[in-house]
Amino acid sequence: MTQNIYDDEEFFAGYSRLRRSVEGLDGAPEWPALRALLPDLRGRKVLDLGCGFGWFCRWARQQGAARVSGIDVSEKMLARSRAETADPAVTYTRADMEHLDLPPASFDLVYSSLALHYVENLSGLMSQVYRSLVRGGHLVFSVEHPIFSATAWSHWLPDAAGRKLWPLDSYLDEGPRSTDWLTKGVIKQHRTLATYINLLIGLGFSISHVEEWAPTAEQIAAEPSWADERARPPFLLVAARR
Amino acid sequence: MTQNIYDDEEFFAGYSRLRRSVEGLDGAPEWPALRALLPDLRGRKVLDLGCGFGWFCRWARQQGAARVSGIDVSEKMLARSRAETADPAVTYTRADMEHLDLPPASFDLVYSSLALHYVENLSGLMSQVYRSLVRGGHLVFSVEHPIFSATAWSHWLPDAAGRKLWPLDSYLDEGPRSTDWLTKGVIKQHRTLATYINLLIGLGFSISHVEEWAPTAEQIAAEPSWADERARPPFLLVAARR
């Protein structure tokens, strides 16, 4: 079973204070890029893997989705999602993404934001996702970029001129990384960018777009501290079709 | 015009002494991985972009290719290629990859080894490549990995424990990088991994495989100094189909 860190008291308290938890989708700087990869949702059936507080599920309904299913392993997050959603076409289910059994040919879009890098058996999950999509259906997801997740020891290193460098290590060595983020010992699964892509191709997906996200010039103008993120991409965004 | 560094005296002398220049394909550690991406060449028409000393062109003929065309900008390299090839089905042409005009629907495979990262107008070249391939034709190439090419200042940095780290910088900022390799001021074009992939998808290619190459355990056992390469991939290998 994937570590259910979101139900850890300290982690949950910290996560709840993040801008993306308070402001929702617009509080996530990568959201405009992720949104640009989505198909028209009118009348579509949508699955959100790792739905968290349900921001995307509710937004998808506002865009006209016919039915939205959110899955998450965190009881605390689902409790808040349910409390904030008064819409019978949006349902939330508690489930471990390592052992999903999704109904075949049931979704037009499977979406996931920053959740798949917690999943150990990604191959099993993606095989379920492929099966659950209708022919021509879309998969759109974001994960921590492999350059970011490679080293557990993830912090900037100043060079002699005071410039910040990202010290990369162990990129090719896939597997768990224990990092301290919001609390101690958060376990993420590092895999290379090629592994994400080849796993999808091997299942029959066609890759539509790959994005190594970093803030735009406009975003940096608004938040100058984000300029460092252009040294290495924090997020990887992928769009594929069955 | 792409910098023709291979005709620089110092660079050419240094390049000629590299193991891959002396031993050919088997002297290149990434060759087994690249070879694994190739289709059956029997009866096929092949184009090699940046053919260098012609090792791949001659090998392709040994595999049964019907006709092999090698293109390179370096007079010195083509002179040696021609001197070492006695086969009328293999032809070498001097041309600048920035301004190719390839015949349409003429090749079953377009191959390129460690050449495309010198090309400024990659979009124009890949558009030509797409047009020159038959429907279902293959594109297989290697380039310096974007993690490698991002920073002009590319060397290892020891951490406090003496471990080698790869200090990444400017990954998202695409454009020329001037590096000192074999001689001073070698100009390469840095682009992100996503840019390579999306450029191909945008032209109509279907991505078949992406490989972030690093030495295998067997290769490291034979050459222990290569172990560092697993910290960050030196080469990117891509296979796609029209």
- pLDDT tens digit sequence for A134-155: 999 999 999 999 999 998 766 7
Q: Is the pLDDT of residue A227 over 70?
A: yes
d(CA B106, CA B108): 7
Q: Is residue A128 in a domain? A: yes
Tell me which residue of B156, B192, B187 sits closest to B173, measured CA to CA: B192
3-state SS class at A70: strand
Cα separations in angstroms, B125 against A220, B57, B119, B128, B129: 33, 20, 8, 5, 6
pLDDT digits (tens, 9 = 90+) for A156-208: 887 777 778 888 989 999 999 998 888 888 899 999 999 999 999 999 999 99
A178: contact with B, CB 8 A cutoff: no
d(CA B46, CA B38): 11
Q: Is residue A234 in a domain? A: no
Exposure on the CB side of residue B66, measured as CA atoms within 13 A = 7
The chain B residue lying nearest A174, using CA atoms, is B230
Q: Which residue has the tokens 């990869």?
A: A37
d(CA B191, CA B212): 15
The chain A residue lying nearest B204, using CA atoms, is A208
Q: Is residue B142 in a domain? A: no
Average pLDDT value over all residues in chain A: 94
Contacts with A163 from chain B: Cβ below 8 Å? 169
3-state SS class at A74: coil
Task: Report the pLDDT value the prediction gives residue A207, as an integer from 0 to 100.
Answer: 98
Average pLDDT value over all residues in chain B: 94
Q: Is the pLDDT of residue A72 over 70?
A: yes
Span A214-238, average pLDDT = 92
A147: contact with B, CB 8 A cutoff: yes
The token pair that represents B72 in the structure block = 């390179």
Pick from B157, B206, B209: which is nearest to A167 by CB?
B157
The answer for A 126-145 residues in CB contact with B (under 8 A) is: none
DSSP summary character for residue A225: G
Contacts with B214 from chain A: Cβ below 8 Å? 171-172
d(CA B110, CA A202): 23
Beta-carbon contacts of residue A39 (< 8 Å; ≥ 6 apart) = A108, A109, A138
In this structure, of A16-20, A161-165, A179-183, B41-45, the range with the lowest mean pLDDT score is A161-165
Span B171-199, average pLDDT = 94
d(CA A229, CA A220): 9
d(CA A161, CA B30): 35
Cα separations in angstroms, A11 against A15, A80, A82, A181: 6, 15, 20, 8
Span A109-132, average pLDDT = 97
The token pair that represents A169 in the structure block = 């290590």
Task: Report the pLDDT value the prediction gives residue B137, as an integer from 0 to 100.
Answer: 98
Q: Between A and B, how many residue pairs show a Cβ–Cβ distance under 8 A?
A: 106
Q: Is B30 exposed, middle or buried (0-12, 13-18, 19+ CB in 10 A)?
A: buried
Q: Is residue B72 in a domain? A: yes
Overall number of domains in chain A: 1
Of A154, A157, A163, A172, which to mutate for an interface test with B (greatest number of B Cβ within 10 Å)?
Answer: A172
Contacts with B193 from chain A: Cβ below 8 Å? 193, 210, 212
Q: Do A113 and A90 meet the contact criterion of CB atoms below 8 Å apart? A: no
Q: Is the pLDDT of residue A1 over 70?
A: no
Q: Is residue A218 in a domain? A: yes
- The whole-angstrom distance between A130's CA and the closest CA on chain B is 17
Cα separations in angstroms, B98 against A227, B2, B114, B125: 32, 7, 15, 6
Exposure on the CB side of residue B202, measured as CA atoms within 13 A = 12
Q: Do A152 and A95 meet the contact criterion of CB atoms below 8 Å apart? A: no
The answer to whether the Cβ–Cβ distance between A194 and B173 falls below 8 Å is no
Task: Report the pLDDT value the prediction gives residue B1, as an integer from 0 to 100.
Answer: 61
Pick from B165, B197, B230: which is nearest to A167 by CB?
B165
Burial annotation A204-226 (CB, 10 A radius, 16+ → b, else e):
ebebbbbbbbbbeeebbeeeeeb
B194: contact with A, CB 8 A cutoff: yes
Name which residue leads in pLDDT, B157 or B194.
Answer: B194
pLDDT digits (tens, 9 = 90+) for B121-164: 999 999 999 999 999 999 999 999 999 999 876 678 877 777 78
Q: Is residue A80 in a domain? A: yes
Pick from B201, B206, B232: which is nearest to A171 by CB?
B232
A79: contact with B, CB 8 A cutoff: no
The answer to whether the Cβ–Cβ distance between A198 and B209 falls below 8 Å is yes
pLDDT digits (tens, 9 = 90+) for B200-226: 999 999 999 999 999 999 999 999 988
Identify the band that residue A70 occupies on the pLDDT scale cut at 50, 70 and 90.
very high
Exposure on the CB side of residue B115, measured as CA atoms within 13 A = 24
ipTM higher than threshold 0.90: yes
A40: contact with B, CB 8 A cutoff: no
In degrees rounded to 5, what are phi and psi of residue A177? -130, 130
Contacts with B198 from chain A: Cβ below 8 Å? 209-211
Q: What is the CATH number of the domain that holds A176?
A: 3.40.50.150
Q: Is the pLDDT of residue B53 over 70?
A: yes
The answer to whether the Cβ–Cβ distance between B207 and A207 falls below 8 Å is yes
Domain extent, residue B105, equals 5-136+147-221+231-241
B167: contact with A, CB 8 A cutoff: yes
Span A63-86, average pLDDT = 97
pLDDT digits (tens, 9 = 90+) for B10-40: 998 998 899 998 999 999 999 999 999 999 9
The answer to whether the Cβ–Cβ distance between B169 and A231 falls below 8 Å is yes
pLDDT digits (tens, 9 = 90+) for B57-85: 999 999 999 999 999 999 999 999 999 99
Q: What percent of chain A has pLDDT over 90?
A: 77
d(CA B54, CA B18): 15
Contacts with A194 from chain B: Cβ below 8 Å? 210-212
Pick from A201, A212, A214: which is nearest to B193 by CB?
A212
Beta-carbon contacts of residue A126 (< 8 Å; ≥ 6 apart) = A199, A200, A203
Parallel, antiparallel, or unpaired: how do β-strands A67-72 and A90-94 relate? parallel
Task: Report the pLDDT value the prediction gives residue A61, as an integer from 0 to 100.
Answer: 98
DSSP summary character for residue B98: G
Q: Name the strand (E) or helix (H) holding B38.
A: none
